[in-house]
Structure 1
Amino acid sequence: MIWILLILLIPSVYFSARFFLISKEIKEATGDLKEISENIELNRRLTSLDGDKNFEKFLIVVNKYLEESQREKIKYIRREKEIRKEIENISHDLRTPLTSILGYLEFLENEDIREKEKAEYLAIIKRRSIGLYNLVQIFYDLSRLEANEYKFNIEKVDINKAVREYILLFYNDFEKKNIEVEVALLNEEAFVEVDKNALERIFTNLLENVIKYANYKFKVSLEKNNNNVKIILVNDANTLDENDVEHIFDRFYMKDSSRSNSSSGLGLTVAKLLVEQMNGEIKVDINKDILCFSITFILNNDEVNY
């Protein structure tokens, strides 16, 4: 009889001990989970000392959830910081011309101001107002591009002729900086299907970047094969490095962190989005202080030779 009681008692003691240990593990895991959830950015995971396989499988599932939550939390924190920084940048870019405009308007209220000075101040106010309008337009275009809501008017354009015209528009700017311009375009037409206004925005932003960083030389060339046409823009840029180039298409990225010039840091971001949404490709590289942008568009079907 005693043996029977012992036989029945041993499993009872074993399962009681197991239940106690598992209950303790669950209680500790619950506390750890609560602590980890409150500080999800900490790289902590739930562990089991008991060795129960089913409980370990459960913890594996929970840890995977924690890992995913941690990644999402980190992404959220980073994005929140980026948004705050972007709001700060936008506020600065809008406030600067507005402050200038308000300052010159105050000058105009001076009764002793001469007509010549008044005309100069009005001219400055006009320039600042146009710059402010263009800046707001860039913000608007960027929001539409990122939401895929930008309306393109696609037509057949001779990219060879268009690039030549864009270079001529900036001829005086190149001369003022004593930048030697080398042009190596095609001796034939090269038609692509793009939005003409968007194409002008792309090259305006790229050429403004050239004028900003080039010191002495700029070269633009076109290469054409059976299916594509590639536009290559090369200039010296001894103030840029590989890190700058890596972030050059990022929103609001500027080499000059003080944001003291009139640039918004959005021109190349907009250019990249415009190129890509017209089924093109844009790349950038720097090698020994030589900056190179390349833009590739698909040739119009009528121009493709099979």
Structure 2
Amino acid sequence: MIFTFKRILRRIYYYLMDEVYLEWILLDCLIFFSLLLGKSGYLIGFIFFLPVMFLKYRKKGFKDSTFTLNLLEQHKENYRFLMFGIINIILALALVQLDVRRFHTFVAIIVFRIIFATENIYVQNYILYNTIEDMYSEGELKRISKLADKKTIESLEFLQLIKEDVKVAVEKKVETEKLKTELITNISHDLKTPLTSIISYTDILSKKDIMDDEAKKYIEILGRNSERLMSLITDLIYASKTGAGNVKVEKSFIDFNELVSQIYGDFDASFQKKDLEFVYTFDNEDIKLYTDGNILSRIIQNLVSNTYKYSMPGTKIYANTVSTLDKIYFTIANLSDKKLDLDDFTVDELMEEMVKTEKSRTTEGSGLGLYITRNLVEILGGKFSIEIEADLFKVYLELDRDN
């Protein structure tokens, strides 16, 4: 019991000495003792306030212990601080004039206390907002205003710890991604060297006449799969580079319609084999944009290649470009040869690494096309999205014309 009482007294002492200003202590004393003792409580409350003021003055100094003086000192930070300081001086003069024998004095003191509390709420919110803004721009917690109370200081220090933890986590993730990219690149390059020899020797063997038809068939299969494996390794290297943003951007002026037409021309023979018709429409003959032509070409190639691989034979592929002064919006849509079941995967998963639906495992490709495309679009500062409706597959591409 005695120990609990000592803890309460210690807590009150620290609260009075460290956590509140003199103005609040005075008003709280007047309110508390007047509630207990009536009119005589005002005098007792003021008498109780005097030793507290003396102790606080010795510990922190009169200026640091007074809310109003701190507001006036830091009025350059915010003009409202000066306004609050002037209001507090007026309230102090009004407090001296109050007649303690009347009930309205008690009401006035409570109103004064509410005004101080409201001012403090504004001040603490202002300090929090501005200090957080400084932390965001400068990277660390450098200075905390004298007007900040204990809770505000604890909140800011906690935010600083969170920011440091997030920074460490991001640095670790970046380092992990870097190591992952280096590992994939190194292994892929190591695989490409012997694979290049296999492809070369397979080509030489395929030209030999001294072998039976069965051997020639196996050589043909070996050559085809070797080329496919080389393509997969190349895609893997490029996916790791684009995922890490390790792609150099070299911009020039590009005619977008011409680029689409050239890429379609490269696929024309393949489309004819599957009886696919490519229908391209646009709102403007001359659609120029300032971007990296090689990267944009890879993006369109991947999209057109994707439609070729997965379109239902005998259907049409619709592509459309809409241009504004600042943007171009390109869409390409096709009917899939198999219904895409969104219960098996999500649209977002289609754009992740190495994602291919179980139904498409037998098709050609690495499963990295959409992942690479999305990364390349983001590298160019654009937006990439997919929409699936039953067997209709749509891709939306948004790019800046000049950035």
Q: Structure 2 vs 1, CA of residues 194 and 258 (structure 1 numbering), >3 Å: closer, same or farther?
A: same
Shift of 1:124: 4.8
Cα gap change, 1:121/1:189 in structure 2, threshold over 3 Å: closer, same or farther? farther
Cα drift, residue 262 of structure 1 = 3.1
Contact 1:251 1:266 (8 Å CA) reproduced: yes
Tell me which amino acid in the other structure corresponds to 1:252: M
Q: 1:193 to 1:128 in 2, by over 3 A?
A: farther
Do residues 153 (structure 1) and 255 (structure 2) align? no
The letter of the residue matching 1:250 is: E
**Partner residue, 1:253:** 355
Distance across 2 between alignment mates of 1:179 and 1:209: 13
1:230 aligns with 2:332: no
Partner of 2:270: 173
Unaligned runs of 5+ in 2: 4-157
Aligned residue for 1:190?
Answer: 287
Q: Distance in 2 between matches of 1:170 and 1:210?
A: 11
Give the TM-score normalised by structure 2: 0.46
Give CA deviations for 1:6-65 in whole Å, capped at 9, x if unaligned.
xxxx769xxxxxxxxxxxxxxxxxxxxxxxxxxxxxxxxxxxxxxxxxxxxxxxx9xxx9
Distance 2:295 2:216 in 1: 35
Picking from 198, 208, 211, the partner of 1:113 is 211
Following TM superposition, by how much is the alpha carbon of 1:112 offset from its aligned partner in structure 2, in angstroms?
6.3
Deviates more, 1:160-169 or 1:185-194: 185-194
Q: Which runs of 5+ in 1 are unaligned?
A: 1-9, 13-60, 302-306
Q: Does 1:143 align with 2:243?
A: no
Residue 287 (structure 1) aligned with residue 386 (structure 2): no
Task: Report deviation, 1:246.
Answer: 3.4
CA contact (8 A) 2:309 2:364 kept: no
1:132–1:183 Cα change, 3 Å:
same
CA 196–121 in structure 1, closer or farther in 2 if over 3 Å, else same: farther
1:221–1:233 contact (8 Å) kept in structure 2: yes
Query: For residue 218 of structure 1, what is the aligned residue in structure 2?
Result: 317
Identity of aligned residues (%): 27
Verify the 8 A CA contact 2:339 2:390 in the aligned structure 1. Answer: no
The amino acid that maps onto 2:211 is: I
Deviations 1:204-240 (A, max 9, x none): 2212221222212210111111211111101112521
- Indicate yes or no: 2:259 matched with 1:162: yes
Instruction: Work out the CA distance in 2 between the residues paired with 1:200 and 1:131.
Output: 21
Structure 1 or 2: more helix by fraction? 2
Change over 3 Å in CA distance of 1:121–1:221 after alignment to 2: same
Checking the alignment, whether the CA contact within 8 Å between 1:160 and 1:186 is kept in structure 2 is: no
Is the CA contact 1:221–1:232 (under 8 Å) kept in the aligned structure 2?
yes
Distance 1:299 1:220 in 2: 19
Partner of 2:63: none
1:18-57 map, 5 Å: none
Q: Give the CA deviation at 1:125.
A: 4.3
Q: CA deviation at 1:130?
A: 3.2
1:296 aligns to 2:398 (yes or no): yes
Count, aligned residues: 222
Bigger Cα Rg: 2
Shift of 1:134: 2.4
Deviation for aligned residue 1:173: 1.8
* Cα distance in 2, alignment partners of residues 231 and 209 from structure 1: 15
Q: Distance in 2 between matches of 1:267 and 1:127?
A: 20
Correspondence for 1:24: none
CA-based RMSD: 4.2
- Which residue of 374, 378, 386 corresponds with 1:272? 374
Change (3 A) 1:124 1:142: same
RCO comparison, higher one (Cα < 8 Å, 6+): 1
CA distance in 1, matches of 2:294, 2:227: 18
1:244, distance to aligned residue in structure 2 (A): 4.3
Higher strand share: 1
- Cα distance between partner residues in 1 of 2:284 and 2:381: 25
**Among 99, 113, 133, the residue aligned to 2:230:** 133
The reply on whether 1:206 has 2:303 as its aligned counterpart is: yes
AA partner of residue 286 (structure 2): E
> Relative to structure 1, is the Cα distance of residues 181 and 262 closer, same or farther in structure 2, using a 3 angstrom cutoff?
closer
Alignment partner of 1:240 is 2:337: no
